[in-house]
Structure 1
Amino acid sequence: MTETIAFSGKILCEATLELGEGPTFDPATGTAWWFNIKGKELHALHLESGRKTVHPLPFMGSVMAIIDPEQQLIASDQGLFIRNTQTGAFKAYATLEDNPENRSNDGRMHPSGSLWIGTMGRRAEKGAGAIYHVAKGTVTKLYSNISIPNGICFSPDGSTGYFVDSAVNYIMKVALDPETGLPTGDAAVLSDQSGNPGDVDGSVCDADGLIWNARWGQGAVDVYTPDGMRVARYAVPATQSSCPAFIGAKADRLLVTSAWQDMDAKARAADPNAGKTFELGALVKGRFEPIYRP
């Protein structure tokens, strides 16, 4: 069993979010971004100054991709939108599904400039969701019958994709065309985590190809090798750790979101940091997220 490394980081943001998710970092502005999905909020933290801003959303957003200094691509329960960073205005971009019972969840940018984004039922209904590939406005369904899409990330060269259905807890691996981010073969199980406590949640892949995964229900970030071996576990001071992102001028720090979703008053009292946003405290060899090319 992998020894758990004690938390040596800090709380980046004290706000307690029902479902903190979808973090990313914009190196051009030095700003970390993440969502409170259930609260319909977009959070922004300028790392150097500590200036925090919360932007109310007209929908349940879950993933952001940077396009350029004036535009961001936002995935939501109402589809994909382009957000103007100066005015905050939204422009419809593409439809994911014609199903009001679903919402977007986990996603990540591929090195080709395409986006993988997952959908799920609002109450995590079994098999209600899917995982999609989005490139230049074209939406392609990759995988159906997904309950809770998570763990989407890519090897540094773009030749391998990873994802998980948290209801099943098999970390999946699939060969990709590095030029497009589309699969070139069938997905296979990389690591069977179904018998272990907690759920495989959001992931990022570092410059060495290691997979950093937030373990929902265990208050941890796990580190896997490209062949599926778990080689480290870092403690996070909130049980429902949800998603990591590389931050900082050198992408050598790790932000981790968390949530208090489905916790009653007793559980929240026992987990006072639930929903806060953390810096892990470990030095990482991260990568900046690719920009989306509309």
Structure 2
Amino acid sequence: MRIEVLVDVKTHLGEGPLWDVDDQRLYWIDSTGMDVFRCTADGREIRAWDLPQPVGSMAIRKSGGAVLSLQRGFHFLDFKTGEVDLISDPEPEKPDNRLNDGKVDKRGRFIVGAMDTKETGKNAGLYRLDPDLSVHKLDDGIIVSNGPCWSPNGDTFYFADSWSGEIWAYNYNLETGAVSNRRVFAKLDTSSGGAADGSTVDAEGYVWNAQVFDGKIVRYAPDGTVDRVIEMPVKKVTSVMFGGENLDILYVTSMAKAHLPHFPADPVERGALFAVHDLGVRGLPETRFGG
């Protein structure tokens, strides 16, 4: 195994690495720096787009451009013009909340959870943006939404409220986009202050989770047991995604500027985008948003 710094733009809150198999490009975001970044698999041809609000996640659209979860709702981003247009705000009555982590299911729906920016109240929801641009609430009572992803066949949905100390699994209905039967998939060892952040699922059905503030990437077997732990060079790792031509490089984002004072400090690599090579595992291609 080999860990390298792929791109070092010192993202305030790097998140959401996303490998687009069609264009063979890697995207990632700076949530509080309000940027979308793009590069090649080996970190070249860096491009950035400025955004008008903090951003939680993004997905590539089938029709071109991207769909974003911004502080005040779902938006489209036009890569050619840089224009950002509102689709819908699912929580207009909650000014302290913003949309956070999200991914697209196998039928092209964008599933995004919200978060309380003060990280104290269980007042955020989990939402589904359909290709027809309708919005549906799937769950609620969440503090900080993170880590949405699916089993390889799409019938199990994984998700976490970072401050619960757990990663959850739901039954997922691919025909309707509905969730049911929420249960505990894995319990984190939070003794050193770690919390569940971004996740992805590999081709073998194992869940990879970035454990922020603890500097670990943990691979969980389908039964929820710990299979492998990778110690990263920084503590504030935030999310993971497999990419590259063979989907065998694990890309890892990190945080340069902690938004709460008690979070751990990091060395000079803080805020970098990392690439982890030679894991002997491949990921799954991400679906584009259907709208």
TM-score grouping bracket, smaller chain normalisation:
over 0.9
Alpha carbons of 1:63 and 1:44: their partners in 2 closer, same or farther (altered >3 Å)? same
Whether the 8 Å CA contact 2:236–2:264 is kept in 1: the answer is no
1:267 is displaced (CA, Å) by 5.6
2:253 aligns to what? 257
Structure 1 residue ranges (4+ consecutive) displaced by more than 6 angstroms after TM superposition: none
Return the alpha-carbon distance in structure 2 between the equivalents of residues 134 and 65 of structure 1.
12
1:55 aligns to what? 49
Code of the residue aligned with 1:225 in structure 2: it is A
Return the alpha-carbon distance in structure 1 between the equivalents of residues 18 and 186 of structure 2.
25
Return the alpha-carbon distance in structure 2 between the equivalents of residues 180 and 48 of structure 1.
38
1:259 is displaced (CA, Å) by 0.5
1:146 paired with 2:165, answer no
Whether the 8 Å CA contact 1:66–1:292 is kept in 2: the answer is yes
CA deviations over 1:44-71 (Å, ceiling 9, x no partner):
1122571112221111112111113622
CA deviations over 1:155-179 (Å, ceiling 9, x no partner):
1111000111111111111111123
1:110-129 mapped onto 2 (5 Å cutoff): 110-129=105-124
- Among candidates 196, 199, 215, match of residue 195 of structure 2: 199
1:67-216 mapped onto 2 (5 Å cutoff): 67-68=61-62, 70-98=64-92, 99-136=94-131, 137-183=133-179, 185-193=180-188, 195-197=190-192, 198-216=194-212
Whether the 8 Å CA contact 2:6–2:42 is kept in 1: the answer is no
1:146 is displaced (CA, Å) by 0.4
Return the alpha-carbon distance in structure 2 between the equivalents of residues 49 and 233 of structure 1.
25
Instruction: Tell me the TM-score normalized by structure 1.
Output: 0.91
Whether the 8 Å CA contact 1:111–1:156 is kept in 2: the answer is no
Return the alpha-carbon distance in structure 1 between the equivalents of residues 83 and 14 of structure 2.
22
1:275 aligns to what? 271
CA deviations over 1:209-246 (Å, ceiling 9, x no partner):
10011011111110001110111001211101100011
1:263 is displaced (CA, Å) by 7.1
Alpha carbons of 1:57 and 1:255: their partners in 2 closer, same or farther (altered >3 Å)? same
1:101 is displaced (CA, Å) by 1.7
2:226 aligns to what? 230
Instruction: Tell me the TM-score normalized by structure 2.
Output: 0.92
Code of the residue aligned with 1:62 in structure 2: it is G
Return the alpha-carbon distance in structure 1 between the equivalents of residues 196 and 264 of structure 2.
21
Return the alpha-carbon distance in structure 2 between the equivalents of residues 85 and 134 of structure 1.
20
1:44 paired with 2:38, answer yes
Return the alpha-carbon distance in structure 2 between the equivalents of residues 285 and 139 of structure 1.
32
Whether the 8 Å CA contact 2:51–2:84 is kept in 1: the answer is no
Code of the residue aligned with 2:95 in structure 1: it is P
1:284 paired with 2:281, answer yes
Return the alpha-carbon distance in structure 1 between the equivalents of residues 80 and 148 of structure 2.
29
Return the alpha-carbon distance in structure 2 between the equivalents of residues 213 and 32 of structure 1.
19
Return the alpha-carbon distance in structure 1 between the equivalents of residues 108 and 191 of structure 2.
34
Which consecutive residues of structure 2, in runs of 5 or more, have no partner in the other structure?
Answer: none
SS state of the match for residue 251, structure 1? coil
1:244 aligns to what? 240
1:196 is displaced (CA, Å) by 4.1
SS state of the match for residue 167, structure 1? helix
Code of the residue aligned with 1:187 in structure 2: it is R
- Give the root-mean-square deviation of aligned CA atoms: 2.0
1:3 aligns to what? none
Indicate the larger mover: 92-101 or 77-86.
92-101
SS state of the match for residue 163, structure 2? coil
Which consecutive residues of structure 1, in runs of 5 or more, have no partner in the other structure?
Answer: 1-6
Whether the 8 Å CA contact 1:170–1:194 is kept in 2: the answer is no
1:83 is displaced (CA, Å) by 1.3
Alpha carbons of 1:83 and 1:195: their partners in 2 closer, same or farther (altered >3 Å)? closer
Whether the 8 Å CA contact 1:33–1:45 is kept in 2: the answer is yes
